């Protein structure tokens, strides 16, 4: 599990470790560093994560603001948590299918039901 940190020195250290891992371009390297949650993503998803993370690291190095790295990691981690919840994913897929078939409710209809 990824440990969230707000300490900029820890984020900076993590960013430099990750940038060196990304340079290696080994497909399984990130999983070796407490990124086992990436397993819920396809190979393409993992490549997208690495690309976005590399961009965030570059931006952080340029600006000195390491929140870009933290935001990317947190965003992907939260998505992984959702994707790993089978019940939630079934409900999301069901809702998407209903919306595609025109069976969903408008926001106004939903609000009326809450009143």
**pLDDT at residue 106 is higher than 60:** yes
- CA dihedral of 10, 11, 13, 16, whole degrees rounded to 10: 170
**pLDDT at residue 96 is higher than 90:** no
pLDDT (mean) for 27-56: 79
pLDDT (mean) for 55-70: 84
Q: Which H/E stretch holds residue 97?
A: helix 86-100
pLDDT band at 24 (very low <50, low <70, confident <90, very high): low
Token pair 């891992």: residue: 21
**pLDDT at residue 23 is higher than 70:** no
Q: pTM surpassing 0.75?
A: no
Q: Nearest CA to 52 among 33, 30, 85?
A: 30
pLDDT (mean) for 14-36: 59
pLDDT (mean) for 89-108: 86
Q: Nearest CA to 56 among 24, 87, 12?
A: 12
| Distance, CA of 78 to CA of 3 (rounded, Å) | 12
Angle between helices 67-83 and 8-24 in degrees, nearest 10: 70
> What mean pLDDT value characterizes the chain?
78
């Amino acid at each position: 599990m990824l440990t969230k940190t707000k300490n900029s020195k820890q984020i900076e250290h993590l960013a430099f470790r990750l940038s060196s891992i990304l340079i290696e371009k080994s497909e399984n390297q990130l999983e070796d560093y407490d990124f086992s949650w990436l397993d819920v993503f396809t190979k393409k998803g993992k490549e997208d994560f690495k690309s976005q993370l590399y961009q965030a690291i570059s931006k952080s190095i340029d600006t000195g603001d390491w929140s870009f790295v933290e935001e990317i990691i947190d965003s992907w981690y939260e998505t992984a948590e959702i994707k790993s919840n089978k019940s939630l994913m079934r409900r999301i897929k069901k809702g998407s299918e209903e919306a595609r078939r025109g069976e969903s409710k408008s926001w106004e209809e939903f609000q009326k039901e809450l009143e």
